[in-house]
């Protein structure tokens, strides 16, 4: 039996259930369907979107009550978009290029939360995984064509 909330927006019903259950892995795979592959920055976006939805007690239904201001144009934004339901198409996703892996999710009443990845953590990862960062820079940042082996190693 479908409950009334799911009938209001059946398209986001599964995502709503995943948020309610705290199923980050399920949310990650849903975001992967949008993004095309699984990667670290998309996972951070999923986690940020999840935290925002939980902290602001938002339900994943009509989505008219929420907007997201994203501060980066990398994979992080797809994770946020999938979990929050905020997109450019529904005028709920705003992009401001501040060069930070961060998002502010706000209710229409002005209540908001900003979630940002600690830059020191980013530097730590860069030092721990230099090959991954070299490949990320080439394939994602510079949009250069990878060899099949490079693509497989990064993805």
Burial 94-132 (b: 16+ CB within 10 A, else e): eeeeeebbbbbbbeeeeebbebebeeeeeeeeeeeeeee
Q: What is the pTM of this model?
A: 0.78
Nearest to 29 by CA among 77, 67, 83: 83
Determine the 3-state secondary structure of 96 from DSSP.
coil
Q: Would the CA dihedral through 14, 63, 76, 116 be positive or negative?
A: negative
* Count of Cβ atoms closer than 10 Å to residue 80 Cβ: 30
Task: Render pLDDT for 125-149 as a digit per residue (tens, 0 to 9).
Answer: 778 878 877 887 787 778 888 888 8
The residue with greater pLDDT, 112 or 134, is 112
Structure tokens at 76: 């992080």
pLDDT beyond 50 at 2: no
Question: Is the CATH number of domain 4-117 3.30.1330.20?
Answer: yes
Enumerate the domain spans of the chain.
Answer: 4-117, 118-155
Task: Give the burial class of 35: count Cβ atoms within 10 A of its Cβ; 0-12 exposed, 13-18 middle, 19 or more buried.
Answer: buried
For β-strands 66-70 and 93-95, DSSP reports them as parallel
Task: Render pLDDT for 9-32 as a digit per residue (tens, 0 to 9).
Answer: 678 889 999 999 999 999 999 999
Read off the pLDDT band of 1 (50, 70, 90): very low
β-sheet bridge partners, residue 102: 116
- pLDDT in the model for residue 59: 75
């Amino acid at each position: 039996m479908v409950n009334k909330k799911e009938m209001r927006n059946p398209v986001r019903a599964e995502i709503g259930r995943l948020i309610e259950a705290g199923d980050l892995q399920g949310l990650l795979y849903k975001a992967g369907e949008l993004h095309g592959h699984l990667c670290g920055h998309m996972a951070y976006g999923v986690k940020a979107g999840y935290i925002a939805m939980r902290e602001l007690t938002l339900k994943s239904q009509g989505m008219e009550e929420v907007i997201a201001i994203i501060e980066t144009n990398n994979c992080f934004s797809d994770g946020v978009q999938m979990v929050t339901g905020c997109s450019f198409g529904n005028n709920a996703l705003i992009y401001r290029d501040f060069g930070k892996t961060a998002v502010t999710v706000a209710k229409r009443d002005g209540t908001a939360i900003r979630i940002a990845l600690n830059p020191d953590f980013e530097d730590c990862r860069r030092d721990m995984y230099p090959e991954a960062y070299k490949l990320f820079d080439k394939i994602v940042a510079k949009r250069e064509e990878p060899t099949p082996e490079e693509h497989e190693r990064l993805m």
